[in-house]
Amino acid sequence: MGNLLDPVEGITLEQWAGVNAKIVAGTATDEAIKAIGIDAPKWDRVNNEWLTRMRNDTSFTISKIYAAAFNAAPAAPAAAAATGGSAPVSPESYPFEKWIEAM
Protein backbone atom coordinates (compact mmCIF):
# COMPACT_ATOMS: atom_id res chain seq x y z
CA MET A 1 0.00 0.00 0.00
CA GLY A 2 2.95 2.36 0.49
CA ASN A 3 2.79 5.24 2.90
CA LEU A 4 -0.44 5.50 4.88
CA LEU A 5 -0.80 9.16 3.89
CA ASP A 6 0.04 8.80 0.19
CA PRO A 7 -2.63 10.28 -2.08
CA VAL A 8 -5.19 7.85 -3.47
CA GLU A 9 -5.35 8.18 -7.24
CA GLY A 10 -3.91 11.68 -6.82
CA ILE A 11 -6.41 12.75 -4.12
CA THR A 12 -4.86 13.80 -0.81
CA LEU A 13 -6.33 13.17 2.60
CA GLU A 14 -7.04 16.89 2.95
CA GLN A 15 -8.88 17.01 -0.39
CA TRP A 16 -10.94 13.98 0.61
CA ALA A 17 -11.85 15.62 3.92
CA GLY A 18 -12.75 18.88 2.20
CA VAL A 19 -15.12 17.16 -0.22
CA ASN A 20 -16.76 15.24 2.62
CA ALA A 21 -17.22 18.50 4.55
CA LYS A 22 -19.00 20.00 1.54
CA ILE A 23 -21.22 16.93 1.18
CA VAL A 24 -22.14 16.93 4.87
CA ALA A 25 -22.90 20.67 4.61
CA GLY A 26 -25.41 20.01 1.84
CA THR A 27 -23.53 20.16 -1.44
CA ALA A 28 -24.44 17.43 -3.91
CA THR A 29 -21.67 14.87 -4.30
CA ASP A 30 -21.35 15.46 -8.05
CA GLU A 31 -20.85 19.17 -7.43
CA ALA A 32 -18.47 18.68 -4.49
CA ILE A 33 -16.15 16.38 -6.44
CA LYS A 34 -15.93 18.84 -9.36
CA ALA A 35 -13.72 21.02 -7.17
CA ILE A 36 -11.05 18.31 -7.15
CA GLY A 37 -11.56 17.38 -10.81
CA ILE A 38 -12.82 13.81 -10.56
CA ASP A 39 -15.91 11.86 -11.59
CA ALA A 40 -18.23 9.71 -9.48
CA PRO A 41 -16.57 6.32 -10.17
CA LYS A 42 -13.16 7.69 -9.20
CA TRP A 43 -14.67 9.36 -6.11
CA ASP A 44 -16.16 6.04 -5.05
CA ARG A 45 -12.77 4.32 -5.32
CA VAL A 46 -10.93 7.14 -3.54
CA ASN A 47 -13.56 7.43 -0.80
CA ASN A 48 -13.56 3.67 -0.18
CA GLU A 49 -9.76 3.52 0.00
CA TRP A 50 -9.50 6.45 2.44
CA LEU A 51 -12.27 4.94 4.59
CA THR A 52 -10.43 1.61 4.62
CA ARG A 53 -7.17 3.28 5.55
CA MET A 54 -8.89 5.23 8.32
CA ARG A 55 -10.55 2.10 9.68
CA ASN A 56 -7.25 0.20 9.72
CA ASP A 57 -5.14 3.06 11.13
CA THR A 58 -4.52 2.03 14.74
CA SER A 59 -2.36 5.14 15.33
CA PHE A 60 -5.32 7.42 14.43
CA THR A 61 -2.98 9.52 12.29
CA ILE A 62 -5.48 9.70 9.44
CA SER A 63 -8.37 10.57 11.77
CA LYS A 64 -6.44 13.47 13.32
CA ILE A 65 -5.44 14.95 9.97
CA TYR A 66 -8.90 14.31 8.55
CA ALA A 67 -10.63 16.06 11.47
CA ALA A 68 -8.42 19.13 11.12
CA ALA A 69 -9.00 19.35 7.35
CA PHE A 70 -12.74 18.63 7.68
CA ASN A 71 -13.18 21.38 10.28
CA ALA A 72 -11.10 23.85 8.24
CA ALA A 73 -13.20 23.40 5.10
CA PRO A 74 -15.52 26.30 4.31
CA ALA A 75 -19.26 25.74 4.75
CA ALA A 76 -21.19 25.03 1.59
CA PRO A 77 -23.52 27.70 0.21
CA ALA A 78 -26.39 25.17 0.29
CA ALA A 79 -25.93 24.71 4.02
CA ALA A 80 -25.94 28.45 4.61
CA ALA A 81 -29.12 28.74 2.56
CA ALA A 82 -30.71 26.02 4.68
CA THR A 83 -30.40 28.28 7.71
CA GLY A 84 -32.24 31.05 5.91
CA GLY A 85 -29.00 32.86 5.29
CA SER A 86 -29.12 34.33 8.77
CA ALA A 87 -25.87 32.73 9.87
CA PRO A 88 -23.35 30.68 7.99
CA VAL A 89 -23.15 27.04 8.97
CA SER A 90 -19.72 26.34 10.33
CA PRO A 91 -18.04 22.96 10.17
CA GLU A 92 -18.15 22.96 13.97
CA SER A 93 -21.94 22.74 13.78
CA TYR A 94 -21.60 19.18 12.54
CA PRO A 95 -19.12 17.41 14.81
CA PHE A 96 -16.63 15.00 13.31
CA GLU A 97 -17.95 12.20 15.51
CA LYS A 98 -21.46 12.66 14.09
CA TRP A 99 -20.06 12.52 10.56
CA ILE A 100 -18.31 9.23 11.39
CA GLU A 101 -21.57 7.85 12.78
CA ALA A 102 -23.34 8.89 9.58
CA MET A 103 -20.77 7.11 7.47
Q: In terms of pTM, does the model score above 0.85?
A: no
Q: How far apart are CA 22 and CA 7, in angstroms?
A: 19
Q: How far apart are CA 75 and CA 37, in angstroms?
A: 19
H-assigned helices in the chain: 13-24, 29-34, 40-56, 61-72, 77-82, 96-102
pLDDT band at 87 (very low <50, low <70, confident <90, very high): very low
Q: How far apart are CA 43 and CA 46, in angstroms?
A: 5
State pLDDT tens for residues 32-53: 999 899 999 999 999 999 999 9
The secondary structure of 38-53, three-state, reads CCHHHHHHHHHHHHHH
97 vs 14, residue with greater confidence: 14
Largest CA distance in the chain: 46
